[in-house]
Structure 1
């Protein structure tokens, strides 16, 4: 049986971050900058520039994400932190129309991005990352934690689309649906 451990994405783990993000899907090109940049900024930046932005973000701290390790190898990633550090959330109509929380409140955290390496999909890594992200948010002053997952039961979904997580995973972790603005998308929350 594999051993899963989870650690914050700190500067000394940047090579592990890159390994976790490069195992399939858009993680390698996005560098988990989608929620930190405007559309124009994202479109006008290269993957290498986004990698530099992520490295700067991690170096500046606090850690913006957690890394899952399976048998000591980087296997996945989850972005977790105050919504105020993820400005695209406040510019996304589906989220702003659905969230009941103020977008300038640092005690409202978001779990907004998952990457699980192809060889570890279906192993429970996303659930382990989500549980660890909830604990991390709770320990660092979150009052409310939100997520913006896809309802995979509503329609077929590509693995790339699951970067926001699966609704069933969030519900199993104790989140409740705040709104379901589209048949395949939900805004979920947990008060901690």
Structure 2
């Protein structure tokens, strides 16, 4: 079956990709960059899932989901940069004052990795941002020079993934993840 990428409007599907096994566990839920740090840290246990449920009902929803047939197999967080912690980041620079969108997390469920779903999620995130009139979209992947990235840190993507999607390096950052420098990659949408 062909993978289809759709807006993340169905909370149960987002939960299937991002949610913990125990509802009261304090896991990311992809809120670390979406909310101001103080708000993110204040959310405990089930409050985190409740916040994501509310975000799924907003326009735009918090990202996109990949489906293989009827099964949800992946997630990409994408939203206007102005509504994320990247807007005030000291480590990730702003290239200009354009109302760009950010894609900061790409996750593929176990059992579905190695099938190109990350590429489809990134392409879907680009189309999602374009559909909302974004002039450009940015990502902040690691520049790993082809070296293996620890699976727990691979959520930001790699320079190669973004280059294959048509993004170009726009700036260096002061952010490092898993020992690799992160770079700002950008794709103009107009």
In the superposition, the TM-score normalised over structure 1's length comes to: 0.85
Asked if 1:93 corresponds to 2:90, the answer is yes
CA shift, 1:75, in A, is 0.5
Match in the other structure for 2:165: 173
**C-alpha separation between the residues in 2 aligned to 1:36 and 1:47?**
17
Q: Which runs of 4+ in 1 moved over 3 A?
A: none
Unaligned runs of 5+ in 1: none
Taking the aligned partners of 2:100 and 2:59, their CA distance within structure 1 comes to: 18
> What residue in structure 1 maps to residue 7 of structure 2?
8
Following the alignment from structure 1 to structure 2, what is the Cα–Cα distance between the partners of residues 43 and 7?
A: 29
| 1:72 corresponds to | 70
In structure 2, how many angstroms separate the alpha carbons of the residues matched to 1:177 and 1:56?
34
CA distance in structure 2 between the aligned counterparts of 1:125 and 1:152, rounded to whole angstroms? 20
Alignment counterpart, residue 131 of structure 1, candidates 120, 123, 128: 123
Q: 2:142 aligns with which of 150, 163, 180?
A: 150
SS at match of 1:93: coil
Q: Report the structure, 1 or 2, having the larger helix content.
A: 1
Alpha-carbon distance in 2 for matches of 1:84, 1:3: 33
> 1:154, CA displacement in angstroms?
6.1
**Cα separation, 1, equivalents of 2:184 and 2:28:** 22
Q: CA RMSD in A?
A: 2.1
Unmatched segments (≥5 aa) in structure 2: none
TM-score by length of 2: 0.85
How many residues align? The count is: 180
